[in-house]
Amino acid sequence: MAFRATILTLFPEMFPGPLGHSLAGRALERGDAIIETVFLRKFGVGKHRVVDDTPAGGGAGMVMRADVLANAIDAASLEGDARPRILMSPRGRPLTQARVRELADGPGAVILCGRFEGIDERVIEARGLEEVSIGDYVLSGGELGALVLLDAVIRLLPGVMGNALSGETESFETGLLEHPHYTRPAEWEGRRIPDVLTSGDHGAVERWRRAEAERITRERRPDLIAR
């Protein structure tokens, strides 16, 4: 069964966007993954299809309405839908490679892309939305975050990567950042490929790669070492 992603957005034209190219694009062409969009404005209120209103208690900006979003989520949900409902949000739990693998092993996801100041808290509670963040910064909306999440997931679907082992040694898969890579030419601008990588000693190569991964992780992400 194909991985099916349903994106709830005010900007459906943003999809598939970059996902229409390279590995993800080929996966979509083959039907390994399906991306469909739901235009939130269709569920808006009144003649002008309003999807937001002023924040309760006052303050700047606008907040997306719970009734509008709930109607869109309900319409997007299939009968017996077991797909997680995800809200792209800067206050969400950070997206990890482990969560990406869990999603890739599942049937798909319903992904809500917020806009404005945020969305009514009640719909998060009532529809069991899982808040997910792609980093400690704020974007104009959830669409770019959804694209990042989907790219990370689709590349892990069976058959998408030419060599399935490629994904097993990447950053975060083993709790470490990835080791350095080299290829031809053997010498470039006075810099040589480390001798161990051309030694033919596979055991020594693996030990070197592990040591380099640990070194880079200690230098750049000591929080991963601490875990």
Find the CATH number of the domain harbouring 129. 3.40.1280.10
Show which of 101, 119, 154 is a domain's final residue: 154
The C-alpha atoms of residue 210 and residue 144 are separated, in whole angstroms, by 33
Mean pLDDT score across all residues of the chain: 95
Residue 179 lies in a domain: yes
Residue 103 lies in a domain: yes
Residue 98 lies in a domain: yes
Find the CATH number of the domain harbouring 220. 1.10.1270.20
pLDDT at 78: 83
Q: Which of 87, 72, 71 is nearest to 121 (CA)?
A: 87
Distances (CA, A) of 134 to 97, 143, 147, 203: 11, 11, 10, 36
Q: What residues make up the domain containing 9? A: 3-154
The number of residues in the chain equals: 227
What does the pLDDT look like over 79-103, one tens digit per residue?
A: 899 999 999 999 999 999 999 999 9
Count: domains in the chain: 2
Q: Which of 166, 176, 159, 174 is nearest to 218 (CA)?
A: 176
> 38 and 107: one domain?
yes
> 28 and 65: one domain?
yes
pLDDT at 164: 59
Residue 165 lies in a domain: no
In DSSP notation, 3-18 reads EEEEEEES-GGGSSGG
> Which portions of the chain are predicted below pLDDT 50?
none
Q: Which two tokens stand for residue 171?
A: 């950053």
Q: What is the pTM of this model?
A: 0.92
Omega of the bond leading into 84 within 30 degrees of 0 (cis): no
> 69 and 141: one domain?
yes
